Amino acid sequence: MAAGIAATPDALNRAGGLPARARRFWRSAPSAFRIGAIILTIHILLALLGWVWTPYDYVARVGIPLSGMSWEHLFGVDQNARDIFSRVLYGGHIVILLAVSGTLLGVLVGAAFGLTAGYLGGWFDEVVMRLFDAFNSIPFLVLALLASAVAGPVASGEPLLLVGVVALVYAPRVGRIARGAAQTVATQDYVMVARLRGERVRDIVRREILPNCSGPLLVEFALRAGYAPVLIGSLGFLGFGVRAPLPEWGRMIAENRNLIFTTPEALLAPGIALATLVVGLNLFTDGIARMIGRSTPHAGA
């Protein structure tokens, strides 16, 4: 491959003002990123819309139960006579908020421990790694179910619990990646230079290690955030999700499972919504990973 200075992807080309840079950035981004970004933007806009307005109130009984599609009820009405379209629309911001905040919390906690462990090595690293390994050994869905159950009947169904559960599942997995990234960065000479100045560990991790791991961490965030709706949906499907009557897409699919013959659109609406959100997030993640320089990122279990 031709070597040389300009071989590094120059998406951070710093000439020009902000709008010019943004336009250049958009044009040089891979198509996966662009399609993903567009899908996500649509979802976010719809979610914002659904938060403030829906055609019908999401718990109100508005029609004949299990009546099919019509102009008033685009996706029909479920067995409790609630408008399905409104419910799906309203559920958008719930899923996105839960997914994003849970992932964010998980990434923050995981990165904090993982980066430090990767830089320090030694006994701290060993201890943290064992803890991460232990939590990672419990299949994520099982861990999520366990955490939900442990929280007890009072907390069950609370959105905040769901955020915590998502964070708990993701922190050790992200932490593992963060540790690996930190280990690579820690061998670089500029980290050694900081050590030779006698700087403290937390300063070194904050100034030298963290900014140079932002690539992999960003990819991890996007990746996990992409799977979070499925995780939350699975929990909802199994009955451990957000409490009724909040319209969480996964639980809606579970609830309406039996309507599969009579009113399939009851399933279709939340199913398509969930699937497209996840597709958008996956494309977005793919695009970011490619821009950072790796080929395909991989989701662990």
Partner 1 sequence: MGGIVQILALCLKRMATAFLTLLLVSLIVFVAVEVIPGDAATRVAGRDATEETLQVLRERMHLDLPPAERYLTWLGGVLTGNFGDVLTSGRSVVEILAPRVTNTLIMSGIALAIYFPLVLIPAIVQAVRRDRAVDHTLSTITLVLLSIPDFVLATFLLLLFAVAIPIFPAMSNIDDRSTVSDIIHVSIMPAVTLAIVMAVYAVRMLREGLIDVLDADFVRMAKLKGLSQRRVLLRHALPNAVVPTLNVTALNLAYLIGGVVVVERVFSFPGFGSLIVDSLKLLDGPLIQATVLLAATVYIGANLAVDIMAIVLNPRLRKG
Partner 2 sequence: MAAPLPQETTAPVVASIRDVGLAYWQQQAWSDVLHHVHLDVHAGEIVGLVGESGCGKSSLSLLMMGFRHPSAKVRSGEIWFDGSDLLAMPEADLARVRGNRIGFVPQNPTTALNPGMRVGAQIAEVLMVHGRVKTREAAMERIVELFGDVGLPEPRALARRYPHQLSGGQQQRVTIAMALACDPDLVVLDEPTTGLDVTTQEQIILLLKNLRARHGTAMLYVTHDLGVLSELADRISVMYAGHLVESAPTDVLFEYPRHPYTRGLIGSIPRLDGRRPREGRLTGYLDRREIPAGCPFQPRCPLADDRCAVEPQILGECAPGHAVACRNADSVTPLVLDDGGVRLARADSPTLLEVEDLSLRYGQMSLYQRLVPSALPPVVVRDVSFTIAEAEVVALVGESGSGKSTIARAISGLLTPIGGRIALRGKELEGGIGARSSDVVRRIQFIFQNPDASLNPRQSVGRSLARPIEVFFDSSHGAPRALVEKALDEVLLTADYAGRYPDQLSGGERQRIAIARALVAEPDLLLCDEVLSALDVSVQANVLDLLERLRRETSVAMLFISHDLAVVRRLADRVCVLYHGQVMELGPVDAVFEPPYHPYTLTLLMSLPGSPLRSGQPVARSEPEREPQAQGCAFAGRCPWQPDARCYTEPPPLHTTDRGVAIRCHLPLANLADLARPQAADPTHAMQTREAGTTP
Q: Minimal distance in Å, beta carbon 147 to partner 1?
A: 8
Question: 297: cis peptide before it, omega within 30°?
Answer: no
Residue with tokens 């290690």: 209
- In contact, 99 and 225? CB cutoff 8 Å: yes
* Closest to partner 1 by CB, 56 or 226: 226
Q: Least Å distance between CB 100 and partner 2?
A: 25
- The first and second tokens of residue 251, run together, are 């639980």
Min dist CB 233 to partner 1, Å, is 5
- Closest C-alpha to 278, from 228, 241, 234: 228
Residue in this structure with the two tokens 């139960």, named with its chain if needed? 65
Could you tell me if 43 and 91 are in contact, meaning their C-beta atoms sit under 8 angstroms apart?
A: no
Q: Which of 239, 121, 134 is nearest to 187 (CA)?
A: 121
Q: Which long-range contacts (CB under 8 A, 24 or more apart) does 208-213 make?
A: 209/115, 209/118, 209/119, 209/182, 209/185, 210/111, 210/115, 212/185, 212/188, 213/111, 213/115, 213/178, 213/181, 213/182, 213/185
Smallest distance from partner 1 to CB 151, Å:
8
Residue 6 touches which of partner 1, partner 2, none (CB < 5 to 8 A by kind)? partner 2
> HSE on the CB side for 276, CA within 13 Å?
17
Residue 153 beta carbon to partner 1: minimum distance, rounded to whole angstroms: 8
Q: Which is nearer to partner 2, 17 or 198 (CB)?
A: 198
Positions touching partner 1 (CB under 8 A) are 130-131, 133-142, 145-150, 152-154, 229-230, 233-234, 237-240, 250, 253-254, 257, 260-261, 267, 271, 274-276, 278-279, 282-283, 286, 295-296, 298-301
Please tell me whether residue 18 binds partner 2 under the rule CB under 8 A.
no
Kindly indicate which of the ranges 9-17, 62-70, 226-234, 242-250 contains the residues binding partner 2, using the contact rule CB under 8 A.
9-17
Q: Can residue 22 be called a binding residue for partner 2 (CB under 8 A)?
A: no
> For partner 1, which is the closer residue by CB, 155 or 192?
155
* By the rule CB under 8 A, 10 interacts with partner 2: yes
Our measurement of the distance from residue 48's CA atom to the centroid of its chain's CA atoms, rounded to an integer in Å, reads 18
Please identify, using beta-carbon distances, which residue of 119 and 240 lies nearer to partner 1. Answer: 240
Question: What are the residues binding partner 2 (CB under 8 A)?
Answer: 1-10, 12, 14, 28, 188-190, 192-199, 207-208, 211-212, 214
